[in-house]
Amino acid sequence: MTKPSNFNNFVDVLTQELIDMPDEQVLDGRDVAQLQIDAQALLRSARAEAGRRRLAAAKAGVGTLRKQASSPSVRVSTASAAEARRFIAEAQNDSRYTLAARKLGEMSDEEVLRLYSQMKRLEDADKGRDE
């Protein structure tokens, strides 16, 4: 799950303030129907902007992963199957990874190395985002 952006927090606070205001203060001599139309337009605009930002972030992440997939890390290609198995076994208890239950002893060396490679690419991509 992603952290809420400042923009999303702003929209949530604005919405809550509008809900909590007494009718007299909100209306202040204005037309109720027009006020509703304006507020709904503001919310639609905010949702659309939040969606555009999420889409842009997702596209950037996919681009980074594709670049890394086309040029695998030297560290990944030099790992032995035993090293990969140890790494995956440790990762099963690491909250950064979500791994389905796997019996490492039943996986072929090729499967273990493929999974290890994927995990390392994701780890490298995450480090790239933090920098």
Given a cut of 90, whether residue 128 has pLDDT beyond it is no
Q: How much is the pLDDT for 74?
A: 42
| Res. 116: pLDDT tops 70 | yes
Res 100 pLDDT > 90: no
7, 42 contact by CB (below 8 A): no
Whole-number pLDDT of residue 102:
62
Does position 2 have pLDDT exceeding 70, yes or no? no
Q: What secondary structure does DSSP assign to 70-131, as a single string?
A: HS--HHHHT--HHHHHHHHHHHTT-TT-------GGGS-HHHHHHHHHHHHHHHHHHHHHH-
Buried (b) or exposed (e) across 33-45, using 16+ Cβ within 10 A? Answer: eeeeeeeeeeeee
Q: Give tens-digit pLDDT for 41-78.
A: 999 999 999 999 999 999 998 888 787 666 655 444 57
Residue 131 is encoded by which pair of tokens? 């920098």
The pLDDT value recorded for residue 75 is 47
In this structure, the chain runs to a length of 131
